[in-house]
Amino acid sequence: MTTTHYRTCHICEANCGVIVEIEEREVVSIKGNPDHVLSRGHICPKATAIADLQSDPDRLRKPVKRTADGWQEMEWDQAYREIAQRCAELEAGGARSAFYRGNPGAHDYALSTQSPYLQRAVGARGTFSATTLDQIPHHYVQLQMYGHVSLAAVPDIDRAQVIVIVGGNPVASNGSIWTVPDFRKRVKEMQARGGKLIVVDPRRTETAAIADQWVPVKPGTDTALLVGILQCVLENGDTLRPGLAELVDESWAKVRPLVAAFDLSKLSAHCGVSESEIRGIAQTLKSQGPGAIYGRMGVSVCEFGALNQWLVQLINLATGNLDREGGTMFPQPLLDLVSFAGRGSIKTIETARGTLPSVMSEIPMIAFAEELLREDEQRVRVLFVIAGNPVISAPDGVRTEQALESLDLMVAIDPQITETTRHAHYILPPCGPLEKDHFSFFFGPLAIRDFGAYSPPTLPMEAGAKADWEITAELAQAIFAAKGKAAPNMETPRERLDMMLRASPAGMTLAEVEAQPNGVDLGPLKPCIAKRVMTEDKKIHAATDALIEELGRFASSMAEVPGDALRLIGRRHVRSNNSWLHNSHRLVKGPDRCTLMIHTRDAAERGLANGDLAEVTSRVGQVTVAVEVTEDMMPGAVSLPHGWGHHREGVSWKTAAAHAGVSINDLTDPQRYDPLTGNAVLNGTPVTVARAQEVAAAE
């Protein structure tokens, strides 16, 4: 008998509605839900991978312990007791503990509400996560300007006449820090009403391919372009839009003189974008109608990441597009996380790398390996890794592996033996994805409509299986008991979610939301900045001292003479989402996607042809990879995809290992980071590219 179930896809930020057909426990089909209030029937290949994740034969079904003879299965209670006892012993000996949280956990509302209990039980004095690998500049700027780390203004694409995307590829990602499913069709709708899409990127991405204009930019130089655009926008005056001007503090008066001091011709030469193109982008944003400039990974994961995100906000403010229909707007979702979470903080922290910034109490991942390898009492000796793979996602993966081997206790909550979890002493595997419920927890507040959606479990739990949240809650209780402490009262995720929904402005109960399987639509985004800004004076803080000082540092850096090395950038593909989907045969089949993209001219200068093996070398490492010669790269830039590198021994995911690829982060230099946020610099790594020695020798 076939049954039909409606749920929200949990794979990426788009939160598309899907229809899942089940026969007994087998997935018969996964299709887009045409009645879903946000995604309108759109589905991407990643959603079909849910079936592979659920039925994956390599997925662990019971806890395992690493022994001299290999991995040993064990019962849950035994695993909890051993881990709890070891935690208590190490804490008594003064061992420092830390947590690492990976990307998939952000898509699991239940885990997000429960994992703090476990961190409290362990007594962890440090939090690492994927946040300082790609998005902390957003949070820094949002806190500085609007008073809350999670108060994001997203492009209102359904009513926009122009969208400028700098360093983003939503055709592949379905949006990032911007929940925008069915992006391709929404662009076509904008173009049909006379609108325009401009994409700025060193690579002609999948998004650039559907754009009205592709503007190549030198990797890591977006700051010059953004300063130039803002300068051109303000050259005839800095008067703000009526209704917005009274909400901006007096620091706005500092902005125009700061950017006017730059020489536009020098900015143009620095970023490789002509003065006419810079002026054209500025003029389009000013005059074509409501619109937005949006910057994502490409402008975040570079040395001036926070500065870039600030300039993006200033351009939207200066063009009158902030808090405007068709511009950038603040969502008011079904569950308003901003109302519940603290505003966040910007502090400093002492690490083995010295004093580093700490936004939202995060320890920057550039210090991860050093904190595990330091030779004093502050060394991290106990590590819990929740749904993460830092060996592949963090800078200098080889050193990260060495650091993980130094731990006295490592516990991973993960369904696979991966490049990271193979170093764990215990792995606690959660159930399959269709056995868990889902809510648009973190990504509703980033959506292009005010909405929310809840999905109950599609399948009953397998015998002996546990959800992520159950594992963290039960392990927390065991650790509290081992330490002789009383465990706090723990609300279940459903109880917590129901309370938060009731307290949000829409005031719905979880039962009411669950009764609407296509999602709850609260309508298009609405101007609301006057009531959303959360700074102490309720004003938008246009220019803080730290950001002004950073702009000065950028001005000084323009005098540096760049070397002749190629600059390495990452890339994403619609069939991939970091490393955790690579065991899906549906997603990895077909042509090899882990290739080094290189421009025709750069390839010819190095004697490289399509399909040749090349050695790519940075300051910290070297990889050998097949070359893809293409006009879609600008000269001087090369690209490797993010999330590959499954060639390490000891992993259990066979499909991923059979399509191993290489890890871009075996080349990423942890010495390079954004000094305002500590965000790793993953783009613009200087590299040399040459024919692989074994190939040259054979010839």
- Residues 406-462: tens digit of each pLDDT: 999 999 999 999 999 999 999 999 999 999 999 999 999 999 999 999 999 999 999
Q: Is residue 138 part of a domain?
A: no
Asked whether residue 144 is domain-assigned, the answer is no
| Res 695: pLDDT | 54
**CATH classification at residue 626:** 2.40.40.20
Domain co-membership, 216 together with 188: yes
pLDDT of res. 12:
92
E strand residue ranges, 320-448: 328-329, 346-351, 354-359, 380-386, 409-413, 426-428, 438-439
C-alpha 319/C-alpha 296 separation (Å) is 19
Cβ neighbours, 10 Å, residue 57: 9
Residue 143 lies in a domain: no
The answer to whether residue 499 is domain-embedded is yes
Q: Which residues, at least 6 apart from 148, have a Cβ–Cβ distance to it below 8 Å?
A: 142, 338, 341, 343, 344, 534
Cα(418)–Cα(580) distance, rounded to whole angstroms? 9
The per-residue pLDDT for 186 is 98
Report yes or no: 418 and 410 within 8 Å, Cβ to Cβ: no
Which pair of tokens denotes residue 202?
Answer: 């060193």
CATH code for the domain of 537: 3.40.228.10
Q: What is the mean pLDDT of residues 219-229?
A: 98
Pairing of the two strands 354-359 and 346-351: antiparallel
pLDDT of residue 489: 87
User: Does residue 141 lie in a domain region?
Assistant: no
Task: Please report where in the chains the tokens 């896809």 appear, as a residue.
Answer: 9
Q: What is the rounded CA–CA span in Å between residue 441 and residue 460?
A: 22
The predicted-structure confidence for 466-475, as pLDDT tens digits, reads as follows 999 999 999 9
Q: Is the pLDDT of residue 298 over 60?
A: yes
512 CB burial (10 A radius; 0-12, 13-18, 19+): middle
CB 621 within 8 A of CB 669: no
- The angle, 0 to 180 degrees and rounded to 10, between the axes of the packed helices 275-287 and 222-234 is 50
For the stretch 472-501, what's the b/e string if a residue is b when 16 or more beta carbons lie within 10 angstroms of its beta carbon? Answer: bbbbbbbbbbbbeeeeeebeebbebbbebb
- Distance, in Å, from the CA atom of 467 to the CA atom of 111, rounded to the nearest integer, reads 8
Locate all alpha helices (DSSP H) within 211-367, ordered by sequence. 222-234, 255-260, 264-271, 275-287, 297-300, 305-318
Single-letter code of the amino acid located at 226: L
What mean pLDDT is predicted for residues 510-538? 97
- Point out the domain boundary residue: 28, 55, 82: 55
Tokens at residue 531, please?
């009531």
Yes or no: say if 568 and 616 are a contact pair by the CB < 8 Å rule. Answer: yes
CA 221 to each of CA 1, 35, 224, 227, 669: distance values in angstroms, whole numbers, following the listed order: 58, 43, 6, 11, 18
| Count of structural domains, the chain | 4
pLDDT band at 560 (very low <50, low <70, confident <90, very high): confident
Binned at pLDDT 50, 70 and 90, residue 597 comes out as: very high
Structure-token pair, residue 29: 């089909």
In this predicted structure, what is the pLDDT of residue 694?
60
Task: Examine the domain organization and report whether 361 and 456 are in the same domain.
Answer: yes
What tokens were used for 383?
């590590």
SS3 state at 17 = strand
Q: Which residues contact 12 (CB under 8 A, 6 or more apart)?
A: 44, 46, 107, 173, 174, 577
Is there a single domain that holds both residue 470 and residue 431? yes
Strands 380-386 and 162-166: unpaired
Across 64-72, average pLDDT: 96
Kindly state the helix (H) or strand (E) to which residue 657 belongs, with its residue range: helix 654-658
Q: For 217-242, what is the mean pLDDT?
A: 96
Report strand pairing: 520-524 vs 596-598: unpaired
- Give the Cα separation of 173 and 189 in Å (integer): 19
146: in domain: no
pLDDT digits (tens, 9 = 90+) for 101-141: 998 888 999 999 999 999 999 999 889 999 999 999 999 99
Quick one: what percent of the chain has pLDDT higher than 90? 94
Q: Are residues 120 and 228 in the same domain?
A: no
Q: What is the pLDDT of residues 180-205, one digit of tens each?
A: 999 999 999 999 999 999 999 999 99
* Cβ–Cβ under 8 Å, residues 84 and 609: no
User: Does 140 reside within a domain?
Assistant: no
Residue of 18, 20, 17, 16 whose CA lies nearest to 2: 20
Query: Is residue 536's pLDDT more than 90?
Result: yes
| 30 & 112 share domain | no
**pLDDT tens-digit readout, 322-336:** 999 999 999 999 999
Residues 6+ away with beta carbon under 8 Å from 562: none
Question: Any idea what the Cα angle at residue 578 is, between residues 140 and 610, rounded to 5°?
Answer: 120
Q: How far apart are the first and last CA of the chain?
A: 61
Say what the pLDDT of residue 341 is: 79
158 and 301 share one domain: yes
Same domain, 15 and 120: no
Q: Is residue 145 part of a domain?
A: no
Give the max Cα distance, the chain. Answer: 73
Residue with tokens 């505003």: 343
DSSP, collapsed to helix, strand or coil, labels residue 433 as: helix
Examine the domain organization and report whether 606 and 654 are in the same domain. Answer: yes
Confidence of residue 55 (pLDDT cuts 50, 70, 90): very high
Q: Is the pLDDT confidence value at 501 over 70?
A: yes
Give the span between the Cα atoms of 390 and 396, in whole angstroms. 10
Instruction: Examine the domain organization and report whether 159 and 175 are in the same domain.
Output: yes
CA distance 159 to 698: 59
Parent domain of 8 = 2-55
Helical segments of 356-489, H only: 368-373, 390-393, 397-405, 468-482
Q: For residue 351, what pLDDT band results from cuts at 50, 70 and 90?
A: very high
> Percent of the chain at pLDDT above 70?
99
Asked if residue 252 lies in contact with residue 238, where contact means CB atoms within 8 angstroms, the answer is yes
What is the CATH number for 30?
3.30.200.210
Q: For 70, which DSSP code?
A: E
What integer pLDDT is reported at residue 16 of this predicted model?
96
- Quick one: 124 and 252 in the same domain? no
* CATH number of the domain encompassing residue 447: 3.40.50.740
What integer pLDDT is reported at residue 696 of this predicted model?
A: 52
Q: Are 348 and 219 in the same domain?
A: no
CA–CA dist 52, 655 (Å, integer): 11
DSSP for residue 179: B
For residues 169 and 250, membership in a common domain is answered with yes
- Rounded to whole angstroms, the Cα distance separating 162 from 165 reads 10
